[in-house]
């Protein structure tokens, strides 16, 4: 039972990173890729109807984590106290940045929220990456299962590291670059014209960096946590994961070059999922390794909720998931196709890859006015 | 009191109090917007559509404030109250996770369609999206209240070997009688906020002499809904909730009423200032024997006073508890009176010309917020010194490794952040109200 929930929580976290990842990424490239007011509107419109739903995955994954592994939730959330609070502030700033910007047609107002949106998106990507880095590297757990990590100590590994050391900073940079590419590919997919072209070019420029960072992070992880190889050696099928990661990265490049926007975006989704699955596969059954003593590791066994609760949860979780997937498919279908602004003439819009006619007529309603 | 404990309590109290200013309007307006949409469909009248769109815009701003201030609530269970989470997560993780799976997904998915999809959807489909948003917000309310209800009246759990509690009966948890009374009382309170807000804005338009047709709709819907739910707030929901407290938390009842000594035929104190060290009430205005009657339906019934319980189980802030409880009840009574008079005038067809009553409706806007907040403070302060009633003390539940200094740092950060959010909210809602219900989205601004 704890293993089932381990998989469920992992899937939910991966869904969050893939989904909210593209709107975070759209935020990261926002100031760079979109030059005119109309282009900025287009980016915001492309994520407007979905970003909040994407962020709910964080809440739902958090809630499920709390439900399945209360001990892990308690330890990790109190131990990562300061960075989590900062993540909260950034999430808030970003949410109001997206939603309140369109409330006033004033360049000063909009300029302010543009910067808020872009900066908070970039910082969130780095924070999430660093958080994952912390989980892989391990935290100074005490015998009672709690810890408290300061933001930084000496930036080195050791039994008492800070939230930020060279490894977690590296993880943050990997996340930043990955989500930049992810967001750029989403914007390429959802927009056209100069903006779409610029986003595509950005994804191409970032690609070599992404490749190098993937390799570096792999080597660094091997160095930081040599025990990751154990699960892979025990279950050699796991070696498929890095294979998938590199294959999707390669496919991404080819697809961008050939202008296959959807393929490129999906490849990026697979890449992100692969990276996360690779990490999770290596950790299992540990959920939070201790840098102090492996005996203090939090595992799926010593941090799980009671058996009855987990069994009952399986019933309602399945039901809830089916319902939620239904809503998601429905909403994404409603807002499918390239983003159009009312100001653009319908005739100029018709082009390859356009959605059904009613989209072309510029009737898309979205928060971004 | 340990200063770290104090900081963590203030941290949660501040963030949850500020947060709940928004969901109460979300949950209160949602059904009223459905009413407006239904009237628009039935009567095929554009006026009602404009009215619905106007409130949807305010709903949208309000909703986003609720979302951004809501995320920290879930996080704080882990960050600031980790010992509590470890202790009780095996039970309340159920309701919290269900809130995400069943309510937040529903709400957020259909909110986008509801706010921005009107031109893509048929009127019927758009009506359904409004219903879905309403259902999502009311479901989230249930799961959150059920979580709190378990802390007030723990059921369906079993103690496990490591000292934590784990779920033993799902249905006992979900069918906790406390949860259903509290939910009914809370949702009715939310609709009161929504109804007063609608009536208040309508009264503003009528007094201003602008958008008078919309103003009449707002006042009519607001007063009718306000009357129904102000009455429901007292009976049966308030009465049921009160007797629940009397039965399960007798210490809390005694402290709420500042009843220091047990007495048969206990009086109900209307006004007065409790003096806890002297164990008396200064300047009391009382209704003799009323408390006994309300609690047990018998004039001579004995009600237990604080002296019947050990002082270390008394709520730790009796004056605050007493005042918030009395504010809630007093305001609730005033709401009924206000809405009865307004409804009478509406029935006789003179409300829209009765400027004095429109002024009262306009100025009454803040009071449902105060009453709802006071009610929640009563519930949470009343449960003290327990975090989970009878099972875990508040002083055992906070994150022991998060120092007072770290807690204060983030508390101050939240205070600053929320000040900005509050200013932005007021500024944007004021703009919406001023630019009026006839504005078309996407054309005016």
CA B430 from chain center: how many Å? 23
Residues 6 or more apart whose CB falls under 8 angstroms from that of B208 comprise none
**For the CA atoms of A313, A314, A316, A319, what is the dihedral angle to 10 degrees?**
160
CA B381 from chain center: how many Å? 15
Which residues from chain A sit within 8 angstroms of residue B170, using beta carbons? 309, 312
Under 8 Å CB pairs connecting chains A and B tally to 233
Q: How far apart are CA B264 and CA B272, in angstroms?
A: 20
Which residues in chain B (98-117) have CB-CB distances under 8 A to chain A? 98-102, 104-106, 108-113, 115-117
Could you tell me which chain B residue has the CA closest to the CA of A316?
A: B98
* Whole-number percent of chain A with pLDDT over 70: 92
Residue B393, pLDDT score: 95
Which residues in chain B (53-82) have CB-CB distances under 8 A to chain A? 60-61, 64, 67-69, 71-72, 74-75, 77-80, 82
Pairwise CB contact (< 8 Å): B116 & A342: no
Residues 6 or more apart whose CB falls under 8 angstroms from that of A248 comprise A267, A268, A270, A271, A274
CA A289 from chain center: how many Å? 22
Token match 């002082």: residue? B311
Instruction: Of B202, B282, B164, give the one whose Cα is nearest residue B32.
Output: B202
Please tell me if residue A8 touches chain B, with a CB cutoff of 8 Å. no
Instruction: Of B234, B290, B241, B233, give the one whose Cα is nearest residue B266.
Output: B290
**ipTM score above 0.95:** no
Residue A270 scores a pLDDT above 80: yes
Please tell me if residue A323 touches chain B, with a CB cutoff of 8 Å. yes
Mutate to test the interface with A, among B7, B108, B161, B170 (most CBs of A within 10 A): B108
Mutate to test the interface with A, among B61, B116, B165, B168 (most CBs of A within 10 A): B116
Task: State chain B's maximal CA–CA distance in angstroms.
Answer: 69
Please tell me if residue A120 touches chain B, with a CB cutoff of 8 Å. no
Task: State chain A's maximal CA–CA distance in angstroms.
Answer: 68
How far apart are the CA of A269 and the nearest CA of chain B, in angstroms?
21
Which residues from chain A sit within 8 angstroms of residue B60, using beta carbons? 99, 367
How far apart are the CA of A31 and the nearest CA of chain B, in angstroms?
22
pLDDT per residue as tens, chain B (445 positions):
569 999 999 999 999 999 999 999 999 999 999 999 999 999 988 899 999 999 999 999 999 899 899 989 999 999 999 999 999 999 999 999 999 889 988 988 888 888 878 887 888 889 999 999 999 999 999 999 999 999 999 999 999 988 899 999 999 999 999 999 999 999 999 999 999 999 999 999 999 999 999 999 999 999 999 999 999 999 899 999 998 999 999 999 999 999 999 989 899 999 999 999 999 999 999 999 989 988 888 899 999 999 999 999 999 999 999 999 999 999 999 999 999 999 999 999 999 999 999 999 999 999 999 999 999 999 999 999 999 999 999 999 999 999 999 999 999 999 999 999 999 999 999 999 999 998 765 433 3
Number of C-alpha atoms within 13 angstroms, CB side, residue B416? 8
**Predicted confidence band at A355 (pLDDT cuts at 50, 70, 90)?**
very low
Q: How many CB atoms lie within 10 A of CB A114?
A: 20
Residue A261, pLDDT score: 87
Pairwise CB contact (< 8 Å): B410 & A85: yes
Please tell me if residue A331 touches chain B, with a CB cutoff of 8 Å. yes
Residue A363, pLDDT score: 33
Distances (CA, A) of B124 to A249, A356, B38: 45, 22, 9
Contact B203, B358 (CB under 8 A): yes
Which residues in chain B (167-226) have CB-CB distances under 8 A to chain A? 167-168, 170
Strand partners, B388: B392
Residue B157, pLDDT score: 93
Pairwise CB contact (< 8 Å): B85 & A77: yes
Q: What is the pLDDT of residues A35-72, one digit of tens each?
A: 888 888 889 888 877 888 888 888 889 999 999 999 99
Pairwise CB contact (< 8 Å): B72 & A88: yes
Contact A174, A107 (CB under 8 A): no
Pairwise CB contact (< 8 Å): A305 & B88: no
Which residues from chain B sit within 8 angstroms of residue A308, using beta carbons? 166-168
The DSSP string of A221-234 is HHHH-TTHHHHHHH
Q: Between these two residues, B399 and A333, which has the higher pLDDT value?
A: B399
Q: How far apart are CA B350 and CA B357, in angstroms?
A: 10
Mapping DSSP to helix (H, G, I), strand (E, B) and coil, where does residue B280 land? Answer: strand
Residue A366, pLDDT score: 42
CA A170 from chain center: how many Å? 16
How far apart are the CA of B428 and the nearest CA of chain A, in angstroms?
7
Which residues in chain A (64-83) have CB-CB distances under 8 A to chain B? 64, 66-68, 70-71, 73-82
Residues 6 or more apart whose CB falls under 8 angstroms from that of B345 comprise B351, B354, B357
Residue B441, pLDDT score: 52
Rg of chain A's alpha carbons, rounded to an integer? 21
């Amino acid at each position: 039972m704890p293993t089932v929930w381990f998989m469920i929580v992992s899937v939910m976290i991966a869904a969050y990173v893939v989904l909210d990842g593209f709107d975070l990424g759209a935020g990261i490239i926002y100031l760079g890729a979109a030059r005119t007011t109309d282009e900025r509107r287009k980016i915001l419109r492309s994520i407007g109807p979905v970003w909040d739903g994407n962020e709910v995955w964080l809440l739902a994954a958090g809630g499920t984590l709390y439900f399945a592994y209360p001990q892990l939730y308690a330890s990790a959330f109190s131990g990562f106290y300061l960075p989590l609070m900062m993540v909260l502030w950034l999430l808030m700033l970003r949410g109001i940045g997206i939603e309140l910007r369109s409330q006033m047609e004033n360049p000063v107002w909009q300029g302010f929220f543009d910067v808020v949106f872009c900066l908070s998106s970039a910082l969130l990507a780095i924070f999430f990456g660093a958080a994952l880095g912390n989980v892989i590297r391990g935290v100074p757990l005490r015998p009672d299962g709690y810890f408290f990590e300061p933001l930084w100590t000496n930036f080195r590994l050791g039994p008492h590291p800070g939230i930020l050391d060279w490894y977690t900073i590296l993880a943050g940079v990997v996340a930043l670059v990955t989500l930049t590419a992810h967001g750029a590919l989403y914007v390429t997919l959802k927009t056209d014209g100069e903006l779409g072209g610029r986003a595509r070019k950005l994804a191409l420029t970032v690609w070599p960096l992404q490749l190098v960072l993937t390799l570096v992070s792999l080597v660094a992880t091997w160095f930081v946590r040599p025990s990751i190889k154990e699960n892979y050696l025990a279950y050699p099928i796991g070696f498929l994961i890095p294979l998938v990661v590199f294959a999707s990265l390669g496919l991404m490049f080819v697809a961008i070059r050939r202008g296959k926007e959807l393929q490129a975006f999906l490849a990026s989704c697979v890449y992100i999922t692969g990276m996360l699955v690779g990490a999770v596969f290596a950790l299992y059954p540990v959920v939070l390794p201790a840098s102090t003593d492996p005996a203090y590791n939090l595992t799926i066994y010593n941090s799980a909720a009671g058996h009855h609760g987990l069994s009952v949860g399986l019933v309602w979780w399945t039901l809830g998931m089916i319902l939620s997937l239904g809503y998601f498919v429905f909403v994404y279908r409603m807002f499918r196709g390239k983003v159009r602004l009312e100001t653009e003439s319908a005739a100029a819009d018709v082009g390859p890859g356009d959605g059904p006619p009613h989209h072309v007529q510029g009737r898309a309603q979205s928060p971004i006015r | 009191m340990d200063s770290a404990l104090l900081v963590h309590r203030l941290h949660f109290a501040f963030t949850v109090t500020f947060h709940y200013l928004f969901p109460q309007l979300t949950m209160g307006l949602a059904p009223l917007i459905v009413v407006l949409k239904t009237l628009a469909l039935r009567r095929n009248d554009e006026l009602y559509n404009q009215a619905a769109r106007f409130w949807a815009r305010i709903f949208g701003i309000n909703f986003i404030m609720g979302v951004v201030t809501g995320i920290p609530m879930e996080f704080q269970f882990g960050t600031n109250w980790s010992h509590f989470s470890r202790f009780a997560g095996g039970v309340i993780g159920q309701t919290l996770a269900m809130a995400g799976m069943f309510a937040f997904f529903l709400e957020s998915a259909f909110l986008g369609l509801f706010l921005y999809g009107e031109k893509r959807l048929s009127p019927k489909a758009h009506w359904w999206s409004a219903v879905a948003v309403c259902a999502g917000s009311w479901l989230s309310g249930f799961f959150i209240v059920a979580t709190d209800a378990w802390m007030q009246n723990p059921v369906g759990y079993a103690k496990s070997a490591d000292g934590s509690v784990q779920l033993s009966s799902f249905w006992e948890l979900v069918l906790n009688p406390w949860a259903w009374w509290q939910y009914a009382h809370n949702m009715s309170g939310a609709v009161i906020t929504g109804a007063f807000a609608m009536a208040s804005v309508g009264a503003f338009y009528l007094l201003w002499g602008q958008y008078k047709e919309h103003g009449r709709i707002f006042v009519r819907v607001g007063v009718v809904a306000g009357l129904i739910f102000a009455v429901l707030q007292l009976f049966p929901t308030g009465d049921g909730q009160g007797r629940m407290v009397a039965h399960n938390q007798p210490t809390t009842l005694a402290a709420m009423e500042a009843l220091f000594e047990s007495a048969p035929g206990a009086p109900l104190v209307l006004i007065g200032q409790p003096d806890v060290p002297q164990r008396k009430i200064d300047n009391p205005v009382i209704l003799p024997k009323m408390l006994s009657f309300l609690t047990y339906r018998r004039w001579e019934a004995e009600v237990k006073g604080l002296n019947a319980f050990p002082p270390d189980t008394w709520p730790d802030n009796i004056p605050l508890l007493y005042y918030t409880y009395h504010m809630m009840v007093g305001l609730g009574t005033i709401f009924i009176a206000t809405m009865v008079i307004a409804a009478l005038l509406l029935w006789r067809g003179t409300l829209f010309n009765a400027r004095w009553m429109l002024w009262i409706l306009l100025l009454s806007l803040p009071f449902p917020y105060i009453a709802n907040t006071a009610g929640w403070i009563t519930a949470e302060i009343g449960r003290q010194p327990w975090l989970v009633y009878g099972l875990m003390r508040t002083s055992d539940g906070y994150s022991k490794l998060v120092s007072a200094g770290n807690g204060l740092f983030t508390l101050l950060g939240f205070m600053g952040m929320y000040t900005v959010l509050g200013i932005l909210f007021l500024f944007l809602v004021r703009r919406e109200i001023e630019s009026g219900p006839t504005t078309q989205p996407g054309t005016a601004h």
